[in-house]
Amino acid sequence: MNDTDFDIQTLEREGKEAASRAEALMEKDPKLPWISAYVIARDLMGADRSLQWLREGKHPWERAEVFCGSYGRLDLRVRAHAEGLITDAQALADLPSAWSGADPDDTDPRFLALWKSAVKANGGKYLRDRGRALPNQKSPMLRVYRGQDEGADFGIAWSLDPLVAKKFASGAATRQHYRNGVVYTGLVPRTAILGYMTGRREAEVVFDPAWLRDVEVWL
């Protein structure tokens, strides 16, 4: 067997595994199109590969993370930290930018725990990606918006901009159009905010949805 044969066999094996994972994702989310499911599956496989590199000492954390696709990047971070493969500082480093550069399932409780740990390490202050403070400084409550499937569990990522939420209701989170979701709105205490990101012009706020009040469908 030469290297070319091995590469072809590896590609075929990985393609079959990605297809199998994509089918499982589509069973969980019937609205998810095949191409989106396949991309997510490949990214999650990338997280598995990078985690194995860390276990074997093949690459340092900075390189292993770079080679993981956006849908698997935060998954890799929490798994690597849980196994003691990266330090607390590495797990929490530049979390706002890392979060903005990923596409995680924000209903996963591991990510909420990661944000809470980051805020604790930051002296109890919410984290920001560009140093901009939350608006409406005099109000103890913030109105937030989230676009998602109707009746689905709330995640930790919301927006202060209803138009951004409308975009996500149409499927931006899974890189598709016309998902026919809805936009929820509610109030959250300013003191509950864990992160505020403006780098992607999404006015994104991260918080524990248990703090939500007066939730209703906006659109």
Residue-level pLDDT at 1? 42
Confidence band for 2, pLDDT divided at 50, 70 and 90: very low
Q: What mean pLDDT is predicted for residues 116-145?
A: 92
* Domain presence at residue 213: yes
* Domain presence at residue 104: no
Residue-level pLDDT at 52? 96
Q: Are residues 86 and 138 located together in one domain of the fold?
A: no
Residue-level pLDDT at 217? 95
Confidence band for 187, pLDDT divided at 50, 70 and 90: very high
For residue 172, pLDDT beyond 70: no
For residue 174, pLDDT beyond 60: no
* Domain presence at residue 183: yes
* Domain presence at residue 101: no
Confidence band for 178, pLDDT divided at 50, 70 and 90: low
Residue-level pLDDT at 43? 92
* Domain presence at residue 167: yes
Tell me how crowded residue 100 is: count the other CB atoms within 10 A of its CB.
Answer: 18
Q: Are residues 61 and 17 located together in one domain of the fold?
A: yes
For the record, the structure tokens of 96 come out as 């706002």
Q: What mean pLDDT is predicted for residues 2-21?
A: 75
Number of domains comprising the chain: 2
Q: Are residues 7 and 64 located together in one domain of the fold?
A: yes
* Domain presence at residue 7: yes
For residue 106, pLDDT beyond 60: yes
Q: What mean pLDDT is predicted for residues 168-196?
A: 82
* Domain presence at residue 41: yes
Q: Are residues 82 and 142 located together in one domain of the fold?
A: no
Q: Are residues 76 and 133 located together in one domain of the fold?
A: no
For residue 211, pLDDT beyond 70: yes
Residue-level pLDDT at 20? 93
Residue-level pLDDT at 173? 54
Q: Are residues 160 and 80 located together in one domain of the fold?
A: no
Q: Are residues 73 and 134 located together in one domain of the fold?
A: no
Q: Are residues 9 and 88 located together in one domain of the fold?
A: yes
* Domain presence at residue 23: yes
| Domain of residue 26, residue span | 3-93
Q: Are residues 84 and 140 located together in one domain of the fold?
A: no
